[in-house]
Amino acid sequence: AQSVTQPDIHITVSEGASLELRCNYSYGATPYLFWYVQSPGQGLQLLLKYFSGDTLVQGIKGFEAEFKRSQSSFNLRKPSVHWSDAAEYFCAVGGYNNNDMRFGAGTRLTVKP
C-alpha cells in the first residue's frame, strides 16, 4: 500500500517568515497527493491536492505545493506565515482510485510572534 513520510515532527517559524513542510511518498504508480490542516480540536481541512498536470499546485490560505516525481516529494510552502497558520499539517497519498487515503504522521507548526 502507499505510504507517506513527514520527516519533521515539529517546526517553529517566526511570523512573516517563509515556510516549507516536507512530505515524501511511496507509491508504485502516479500518486494522488494532498495536504490537510488540522487546528486543535477540529477536523481536517483540505489545503490543496495534486492529481496530474502542473506540478506546482496552488491552494487555499496562500499555500502551494510542488510535486517532484524524481524525489518522491510533495512539499508544502508558504512565503509569509501568519500566526493563524499554527496547526498540525498532514500530507496524504491516495491509491489507485483514491479510495484509501493514507496520511503521514503530521508536522506541528508553531508560529512565533
Q: Does 11 bind another protein (CB under 8 A)?
A: no
For residue 112, the one-letter residue type is K
Q: Is 81 or 104 the residue whose CB approaches another protein more closely?
A: 104
What mask of x and - would describe binding to another protein in positions 54 to 93, judged by CB under 8 A?
Answer: ------------------------------------x-x-
Q: How far apart are CA 112 and CA 103, in angstroms?
A: 27
Instruction: By CB under 8 A, name the one of 102, 109, 110, 112 that touches another protein.
Output: 102
Q: Is 9 or 70 the residue whose CB approaches another protein more closely?
A: 9
Q: Does 19 bind another protein (CB under 8 A)?
A: no
Q: How far apart are CA 93 and CA 104, in angstroms?
A: 9
Q: Does 40 bind another protein (CB under 8 A)?
A: no
Three-state SS annotation for 33-93:
EEEEEECCCCCEEEEEEECCCCCEEECHHHCEEEEEHHHCEEEEEECCCCHHHCEEEEEEE
Q: Does 20 bind another protein (CB under 8 A)?
A: no
Q: How far apart are CA 66 and CA 37, in angstroms?
A: 17
Q: Which residues bind another protein (CB under 8 A)?
A: 32, 36, 42-46, 49, 51, 90, 92, 94-95, 97-106
